[in-house]
Amino acid sequence: MAGFRVFLVVFTVCVVCVLVECKYMVYNTSQGIVPGKINVHLVPHTHDDVGWLKTVDQYYVGSNNSIQGACVQNVLDSLIPALLADKNRKFVYVEQAFFQRWWRQQSEAVKKIAQMLVTSGQLELINGGWCMHDEAATHYIDMIDQTTLGHKFIKEQFNVTPRIGWQIDPFGHSAVQAYLLGAEVGFDALFFGRIDYQDRAKRRDDKKLEVIWQGSKSHGSSSQIFAGAFYAGNYEPPTGFYFEVNDDSPVVQDDINLFDYNVQERVNDFVAAAFSQANVTRSNHVMWTMGTDFKYQYAETWFRNMDKLIHYVNQDGRVNALYSTPSLYTDTKHALNESWPLKTDDYFPYADRINAYWTGYFTSRPAIKGYVRMMSGYYLAARQLEFFRGRSKSGPTTDSLADALAIAQHHDAVTGTEKQHVANDYAKRLSIGYKESEGVVAASLGCLTQSSPSSGCKRPVNFNQCPLLNISYCPASEIDLSPGKKLVVLVYNSLGWKRTGVVRIPVINDNITVKDSTGKLITSQLLPIVNASITMRKFYTSAYMGESPSTTPMYWLAFTAVVPPLGFNTYVISSGKTTASTSIKPTSYVFGGSQTRAIEIGPGNLKLIYSGDDGKLTQYTNSRNLVNISLEQSYIYYAGDDGHKDLQASGAYIFRPNGTFPIQSEGKIPLTVFRGPLFDEVHQMINSWIYQITRVYKEKEHAEIEFVVGPIPIDDGIGKEIVTQIKTKIENNKMFYTDSNGRDFLERIRDYRADWDLQVNQPIAGNYYPINLGTYIKDKNTELSILVDRSVGGSSITDGEVEIMLHRRLLHDDGRGVAEALNETVCVHDTCSGLTVQGKYYLRLDPLGEGSKWRRSFGQEIYSPFLLAFTEQDDKWMNFPRPTFSAMDPSYTIPDNVAIITLQELEDGSVLLRLAHLYEVGEDKDLSVTATVELKRVFPNKKINKVKETSLSANQERAEMERKRLSWKVEGSNAKQETISKGGPVDPVKLVVELAPMEIRTFIIDFNSNLVQY
């Protein structure tokens, strides 16, 4: 090792010179709070996007600087000596995806120093998730997972728990962020930069930028958090106080031997900026966010100038300046013992100025958004299966998917506001993560289908999976089922409930039968795969894999699977002939001629009625609950503004429509109907680039609408944002409901904000809200609910109407930094065309008050679809040793109002379990009640040793968190205190978990031994 570079830095403190004699200037940076003065809390920070204009790794190593000069490695490398140089200097770091990259590369010596700095509070890790997740296009389960990942890293390496939420850049702020990812992870405060410009103006006038935010109706004051919106609407220093290498703010020149000495001038600038901010801030404490995107590449440049400012400003004495952190700032505010204004609901939508509503990104890059959601559900299931088999120390594991998913929650990832090459990077990471998890899943299923749980897994079955099933591509099922071959389909259900659902797979034969695991023939349905699907399959397999497959499936085989909770069932497909296995012949209806009879669709209770005149959907009728309502469904597009008026185009961030245009087909649209025993399908080719399939299942009371939109034409030079509209006569009186990150439903009122008198300048874009689970409208009789399969934007622009934006293709950049038009294309060889997006939404009508059951239960099914695995066997094969499985007690099921949102084995063999009550207080007459989960029956084969309840991010004991969290006084709330229902402590013997409405409880469970396997 001789000659190799190794080093250890030891720092000691000593006084090196007497001030009077030496020319070396020592700055007094030790100042604390000074009561009675305006205290300027200087908070040194960097904002490091986990991908945006460059990929996360490019940002970390500092490559691709021609796009953006940014290198996080520089930040962290240079930070350490800068903090060591003065113990009063402080810094907050946020994004753990970067921090762990750096950490991994450090020597033990540097790690020790960093740990010392964290322990001393000089370096504070805040927010602490893997990324600073978005709050509009993210699902709460993903938010929890990515936060948990970061908090776990921090806890393990530094034994600390972040105290502060720091969502400084996301484009609007959600209720779930405030109460779940804020209060419930133990944060004492939440800070952010971006709120609506009108809101900010009023809050500045009223000194209400800082509030107590109660994001949850169900939890009320029990999950409140101190929330501060920054003074200037961003997270940057005041003008003239940027000190990055090569920044042109005037540095403090205090060397009297040099020209341009400017101390008094700079002190005056500082004092003026402090007064200006103090004028709109309650109390005499103001925070300056000393940093911005990817700053502190050479940290000393900032600290050098802040040292001087603190020294000279305090000598001046008009205001008091100090190194601070959001924690210290929060503690200071708390110590004032004042009452603060109350804020409820959320901060959506966000406009940073007139006509600039950041509501486009709710839908931008719908394919990525769909992929993220699909992976999220898969990750949940894969961890369950990883646990059932036992986490592998040597891999594969689900960790790489965890990492990719966590990164994808970044506010320039799933949002669609990144550059195209960065979007590709996110997709690549997800794909790599998926691939490894697919191995975990296959290995687990391969073992679980073996008989003896305790005998290990000697001859695991080789299972294949089909991630491209959505484009009708599944090599595992597209096998020639000639006599002698069997296709075994394993259907895994990650929900805590027994579940029945229709499985659809592409096959190449028509004479086939489906048997369940007992060998019983079951009903199946065979539909020809339409040309539109084959074309898309061919194009996208070429695009994704470089070549299109040699075989082409002919049919969709559908059958109903019935699967136990946290378990699987198997189905065997083989050649043979039954009545049901004959391919369904479509019926085509062409309009404009003699056709006049209405067309009724639906083999079960629900019927959709299409007009005999023009084939349009006209009526929805449910024979069970007698809901019968006229209904129209159509597509429109908004022309994306090109920005020629005022430089504000519609783009990746911003939705700026310039006209609403109905999408008319060429002539009337023929209906093609496939009727079958399990479901009916209605195919409509709306125009050359919109294809729609509506399915009505025999056993379901909702309509499933599959859309294929794209390539959106731009030959006319106009970008387009494609929207589906559902029109009814429901008298919703401007009110509609959208979910917050897939969890709480918030009431929205068109052209109205509760917090200020809205000046309406964008009557469409300004009424768009993010939708992750769904949206509904209601009147005194009926509820219309729409559920979605990914994050989208939507609204109710006229009474009775609900609309969802499905896809966007735009030709102009909207001027918020990404510097690309959102014009997604897909290329095969050198031929590129606009991206086609395929997805689904679900529609249902219920009598008033009865919609939530479907929204909640079926919402979970959408999030956690059946996981399918395939294996080909020969004729001799009869059955798996274990053809059906449930991890839980066979007689047990999780209550209808509870979901297992995390079941994951940790490195030490303990298990992380998260249970979520799915209903808000008062949401459902039956299910908005306290539920119980019996842990012993959830883990029937394990001996539970210890159950530790933790904070939501699992980084501290729940009781400890509750004890530490600051409580705040709310203005005017000294009146009646509401009663909040929460589940009680878990009795260590009974091991029954209570969950009150909307409660999520997180546990780390130790088992006595890992010997007992499933």
Nearer to a second copy, 248 or 716 (CB): 248
Nearer to a second copy, 3 or 35 (CB): 3
Q: For residues 285-324, which are near a second copy according to CB under 8 A?
A: 297-298, 300-301, 304, 307
Q: Is the dihedral of CA 522, 528, 533, 538 positive or negative?
A: positive
Out of 20, 36, 248, 483, name the contact with a second copy by CB under 8 A: 248
DSSP secondary-structure letter at 410?
B
Nearer to a second copy, 260 or 666 (CB): 260
Residue 56 Cβ vs a second copy, minimum distance, rounded to whole Å: 8
- Of 80-88, 144-152, 665-673, 830-838, which segment contacts a second copy by CB under 8 A? 80-88
Q: For residues 379-438, which are near a second copy according to CB under 8 A?
A: 425, 428
Residue 84 Cβ vs a second copy, minimum distance, rounded to whole Å: 7
Residue 438 Cβ vs a second copy, minimum distance, rounded to whole Å: 20
Q: Using CB under 8 A, count the residues that bind a second copy.
A: 77
Nearer to a second copy, 8 or 336 (CB): 8
Out of 35, 40, 53, 65, name the contact with a second copy by CB under 8 A: 65
Out of 42, 47, 52, 62, name the contact with a second copy by CB under 8 A: 62
Q: For residues 938-977, which are near a second copy according to CB under 8 A?
A: none
- 26's CB contacts (< 8 A; 6+ apart) are 17, 19
- DSSP track, 672-726: EEEE-SSEEEEEEEEETTEEEEEEEETT-SSEEEEEEE-PPP-TTS--EEEEEEE
Residue 238 Cβ vs a second copy, minimum distance, rounded to whole Å: 18
Residue 87 binds a second copy (CB under 8 A): yes
Residue 26 binds a second copy (CB under 8 A): yes
Residue 29 binds a second copy (CB under 8 A): yes
Residue 107 binds a second copy (CB under 8 A): yes
Residue 77 Cβ vs a second copy, minimum distance, rounded to whole Å: 6
Nearer to a second copy, 426 or 866 (CB): 426
- Of 100-108, 144-152, 586-594, 634-642, which segment contacts a second copy by CB under 8 A? 100-108
Nearer to a second copy, 58 or 902 (CB): 58
Residue 876: helix, strand or coil by DSSP?
coil
DSSP secondary-structure letter at 232?
T
User: In angstroms, how far is CA 626 from the centroid of its own chain?
Assistant: 37
- Of 240-248, 364-372, 447-455, 627-635, which segment contacts a second copy by CB under 8 A? 240-248
Q: Which of 234, 215, 235, 239 is nearest to 226 (CA)?
A: 215
Q: For tokens 């603060």, what's the residue?
A: 340
Residue 819 binds a second copy (CB under 8 A): no
Residue 15 Cβ vs a second copy, minimum distance, rounded to whole Å: 5
Rounded CA-CA distance 89/79 in Å is 10
Rounded CA-CA distance 189/213 in Å is 9
Helix (H) or strand (E) holding 144: helix 140-158
Strand partners, 662: 636
- Of 13-21, 176-184, 435-443, 736-744, which segment contacts a second copy by CB under 8 A? 13-21
Residue 3 binds a second copy (CB under 8 A): yes
Residue 830 Cβ vs a second copy, minimum distance, rounded to whole Å: 24
Residue 30 binds a second copy (CB under 8 A): yes
**One-letter amino acid for residue 692 of the chain:** Q
- DSSP track, 92-138: EE--HHHHHHHHHHS-HHHHHHHHHHHHHTSEEE-S-SSS-B-SSS-
- Of 84-92, 534-542, 682-690, 910-918, which segment contacts a second copy by CB under 8 A? 84-92
Nearer to a second copy, 12 or 337 (CB): 12
Residue 13 binds a second copy (CB under 8 A): yes
φ, ψ of residue 883 to 5 degrees: the values are: -80, -15
The token pair that represents 738 in the structure block: 């959208």
**One-letter amino acid for residue 617 of the chain:** L
Residue 394 Cβ vs a second copy, minimum distance, rounded to whole Å: 16
- Of 79-87, 123-131, 441-449, 945-953, which segment contacts a second copy by CB under 8 A? 79-87
Q: For residues 428-487, which are near a second copy according to CB under 8 A?
A: 428
- Of 60-68, 160-168, 373-381, 696-704, which segment contacts a second copy by CB under 8 A? 60-68
Residue 559 binds a second copy (CB under 8 A): no
Q: How many CA atoms lie within 13 A of 217 on its CB side?
A: 15
Out of 34, 232, 245, 590, name the contact with a second copy by CB under 8 A: 245
Nearer to a second copy, 386 or 425 (CB): 425
Residue 249 Cβ vs a second copy, minimum distance, rounded to whole Å: 8
Q: Which of 303, 282, 271, 257 is nearest to 123 (CA)?
A: 303
Nearer to a second copy, 77 or 889 (CB): 77
Rounded CA-CA distance 843/794 in Å is 14
Beta strands in 760-897 (DSSP E): 769-771, 774-778, 782-788, 792-795, 801-809, 825-828, 831-834, 837-847, 867-874, 885-886
Out of 115, 247, 517, 603, name the contact with a second copy by CB under 8 A: 247
Rounded CA-CA distance 307/115 in Å is 23
Nearer to a second copy, 301 or 650 (CB): 301
Residue 99 Cβ vs a second copy, minimum distance, rounded to whole Å: 14
Rounded CA-CA distance 581/509 in Å is 10
- 616's CB contacts (< 8 A; 6+ apart) are 610, 632, 633, 634, 669
Out of 20, 35, 36, 66, name the contact with a second copy by CB under 8 A: 66
Residue 967: helix, strand or coil by DSSP?
coil
Residue 93 Cβ vs a second copy, minimum distance, rounded to whole Å: 18
Helix (H) or strand (E) holding 590: none
Residue 63 binds a second copy (CB under 8 A): yes
Nearer to a second copy, 105 or 825 (CB): 105
Residue 52 Cβ vs a second copy, minimum distance, rounded to whole Å: 16
Out of 1, 256, 626, 647, name the contact with a second copy by CB under 8 A: 1
Rounded CA-CA distance 388/565 in Å is 13
Residue 330 binds a second copy (CB under 8 A): no
**One-letter amino acid for residue 181 of the chain:** L
Residue 330 Cβ vs a second copy, minimum distance, rounded to whole Å: 23
Residue 166 Cβ vs a second copy, minimum distance, rounded to whole Å: 25
Residue 425 Cβ vs a second copy, minimum distance, rounded to whole Å: 7
Residue 196 binds a second copy (CB under 8 A): no
Out of 33, 34, 37, 84, name the contact with a second copy by CB under 8 A: 84
- DSSP track, 900-945: EEEEEE-TTS-EEEEEEE---TTT-TTTSS-EEEEHHHHSTTS-EE
- 962's CB contacts (< 8 A; 6+ apart) are none
Rounded CA-CA distance 848/436 in Å is 45
The token pair that represents 554 in the structure block: 């002919």
Out of 260, 715, 757, 908, name the contact with a second copy by CB under 8 A: 260
Residue 71 binds a second copy (CB under 8 A): yes
Residue 21 binds a second copy (CB under 8 A): no
Residue 25 binds a second copy (CB under 8 A): yes
Q: For tokens 């205090």, what's the residue?
A: 254
Nearer to a second copy, 263 or 381 (CB): 263
Rounded CA-CA distance 791/171 in Å is 15
Contact assessment for residue 508 and residue 551, using Cβ atoms and an 8 Å cutoff: yes
